[in-house]
């Protein structure tokens, strides 16, 4: 990327279209002008390379048998992938991660869009609450995990008391733990979807709604035919962020359950943590992460292409 600079059509040229203008008092040689964006990007490029280095090293670990007990690792090809993929606990992690990401994203999207629509009405109640909407989102997920762990406590936790469940209901049992950590995710991240969608709704043009109101269109028709298609890009941006983040969820789950009880909340990143940091088997942990990274990468590619199409369609429906 550093060799050819022929297509450095700078924007200042395109703007200064009417002949002769754009000439600087002290002319800067063309080669320096072309080089400028590259020079400005050099520090960022160096940092990027610095971050990519451990990343590539991590990918390399997955074809070694590197562990703390084996400081001089050997090349083992795809053995780690074979081992990991024939291990039932890996598939448990995949299932937990998939359920977590799909359910959390779906619930947060529906709730977030609902809250955005509710807050968009000009009501006093909505105005008051809009200010505090983002509070859970700005608290560290770890702190959220700590708060909820105390609330979930069967003996003195407030939830069982307020909901009248007595002191026997266990929010973090084998059966309930996954749903409880998803509940906490919903508590933290629904405001994220809500504020993005709310900003989207507020940026929509008013004319189509007024026009179809005059035409006597019903609420549901307008929502489905006008608002939803125009809002769709905003919803998708929120969905992309939430889904990608859920696939690599760690913080609050780790504090709440550390992957337990059993492996019922052992997401892929928690699995990788167990293998590489607790068991000090770096290669197995890296194999987990490489597979997760591939999953995240492919999902991102797909979702971004969906977003591109939706943006085009929404732009079309506005005109």
x/- letters, 271..290, toward another protein (CB under 8 A)? -xx--xx----x--xx-xxx
Please tell me whether residue 178 binds another protein under the rule CB under 8 A. Answer: no
Applying CB under 8 A, which of residues 18, 86, 122, 319 lies at the interface with another protein? 122
Please tell me whether residue 129 binds another protein under the rule CB under 8 A. Answer: yes
Nearest residue (CB) to another protein, 178 versus 196: 196
- Whether 181 contacts 193, CB under 8 Å: no
Can you tell me the distance from the alpha carbon of 192 to that of 289, in angstroms, rounded to the nearest whole number? Answer: 26
Judged by CB under 8 A, the chain residues 17 through 36 that form the site for another protein are 21-22, 24-26, 28, 34, 36
Please tell me whether residue 55 binds another protein under the rule CB under 8 A. Answer: yes
Nearest residue (CB) to another protein, 79 versus 251: 251
Interface with another protein: number of residues (CB under 8 A): 124
Please tell me whether residue 8 binds another protein under the rule CB under 8 A. Answer: yes
CB of 192 to another protein, least distance (A): 7
Please tell me whether residue 37 binds another protein under the rule CB under 8 A. Answer: yes
Can you tell me the distance from the alpha carbon of 124 to that of 289, in angstroms, rounded to the nearest whole number? Answer: 47
Nearest residue (CB) to another protein, 121 versus 175: 121
Nearest residue (CB) to another protein, 122 versus 319: 122
Judged by CB under 8 A, the chain residues 215 through 274 that form the site for another protein are 217-219, 222-223, 227, 234, 237-238, 241, 244-245, 247-248, 250-251, 254-255, 268-269, 272-273
The structure tokens listed for 255 are 């504090």
Candidate segments 81-89, 99-107, 113-121, 174-182, binder of another protein by CB under 8 A: 113-121
- Whether 254 contacts 216, CB under 8 Å: no
Can you tell me the distance from the alpha carbon of 41 to that of 2, in angstroms, rounded to the nearest whole number? Answer: 11
Please tell me whether residue 69 binds another protein under the rule CB under 8 A. Answer: no
Q: Provide the b/e sequence for 256-292 (b: ≥16 CB within 10 Å).
A: bbebeeebbbbbbbbbbbbbbeeeebbbbbbbbbbbb
261 preceded by a cis bond (ω within 30 of 0): yes
What is the separation, in whole angstroms, between the first and last Cα of the chain? 39
Nearest residue (CB) to another protein, 18 versus 86: 18
Applying CB under 8 A, which of residues 31, 40, 173, 302 lies at the interface with another protein? 40
Can you tell me the distance from the alpha carbon of 89 to that of 176, in angstroms, rounded to the nearest whole number? Answer: 19
Please tell me whether residue 163 binds another protein under the rule CB under 8 A. Answer: no
- Whether 318 contacts 205, CB under 8 Å: yes
Please tell me whether residue 89 binds another protein under the rule CB under 8 A. Answer: no
Q: Provide the b/e sequence for 45-71 (b: ≥16 CB within 10 Å).
A: eeeeeeeeeeeeebeebbbbbbbeeee
Positive or negative CA dihedral for 226, 227, 230, 233?
negative
- Whether 191 contacts 130, CB under 8 Å: no
Nearest residue (CB) to another protein, 178 versus 249: 249
Please tell me whether residue 110 binds another protein under the rule CB under 8 A. Answer: no
Applying CB under 8 A, which of residues 1, 30, 69, 163 lies at the interface with another protein? 1
Can you tell me the distance from the alpha carbon of 59 to that of 212, in angstroms, rounded to the nearest whole number? Answer: 55
Nearest residue (CB) to another protein, 13 versus 95: 13
Please tell me whether residue 144 binds another protein under the rule CB under 8 A. Answer: yes
Please tell me whether residue 135 binds another protein under the rule CB under 8 A. Answer: yes
């Amino acid at each position: 990327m550093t060799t050819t600079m022929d297509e450095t059509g700078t924007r200042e040229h395109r703007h200064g279209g009417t002949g002769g203008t754009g000439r600087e008092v002290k002319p800067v040689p063309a080669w320096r002008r072309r080089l400028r964006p590259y020079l400005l990007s050099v520090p960022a490029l160096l940092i990027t390379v610095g971050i990519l280095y451990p990343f590539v090293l991590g990918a390399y670990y997955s074809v070694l048998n590197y562990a703390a007990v084996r400081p001089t690792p050997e090349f083992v090809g795809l053995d780690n992938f074979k081992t990991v993929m024939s291990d039932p606990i890996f598939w448990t992690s995949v299932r937990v991660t998939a359920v977590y990401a799909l359910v959390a994203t779906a619930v947060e999207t529906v709730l977030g869009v609902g809250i955005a629509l509710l807050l968009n009405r000009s009501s006093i109640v909505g105005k008051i609450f809009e200010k505090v909407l983002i509070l859970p989102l700005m608290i560290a997920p770890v702190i959220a995990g700590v708060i909820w762990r105390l609330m979930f406590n069967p003996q003195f936790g407030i939830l069982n008391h307020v909901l009248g469940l007595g002191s026997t209901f266990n929010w973090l049992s084998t059966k309930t733990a996954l749903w409880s950590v998803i509940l906490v995710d919903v508590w933290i991240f629904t405001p994220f979807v809500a504020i993005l969608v709310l900003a989207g709704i507020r940026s929509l043009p008013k004319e189509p709604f007024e026009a179809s109101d005059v035409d006597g269109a019903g609420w549901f028709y307008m929502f489905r035919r006008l608002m939803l298609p125009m809002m769709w890009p905003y919803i998708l941006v929120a969905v992309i962020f939430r889904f990608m983040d859920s696939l690599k969820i760690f913080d609050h789950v780790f504090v709440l359950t550390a992957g337990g009880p059993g492996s019922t909340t052992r997401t892929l990143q928690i699995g990788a943590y167990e293998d590489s940091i607790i068991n000090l088997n770096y290669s197995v942990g890296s194999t987990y992460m490489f597979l997760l990274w591939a999953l995240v990468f492919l999902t991102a590619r797909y979702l971004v292409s969906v977003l591109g199409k939706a943006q085009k369609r929404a732009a079309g429906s506005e005109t």
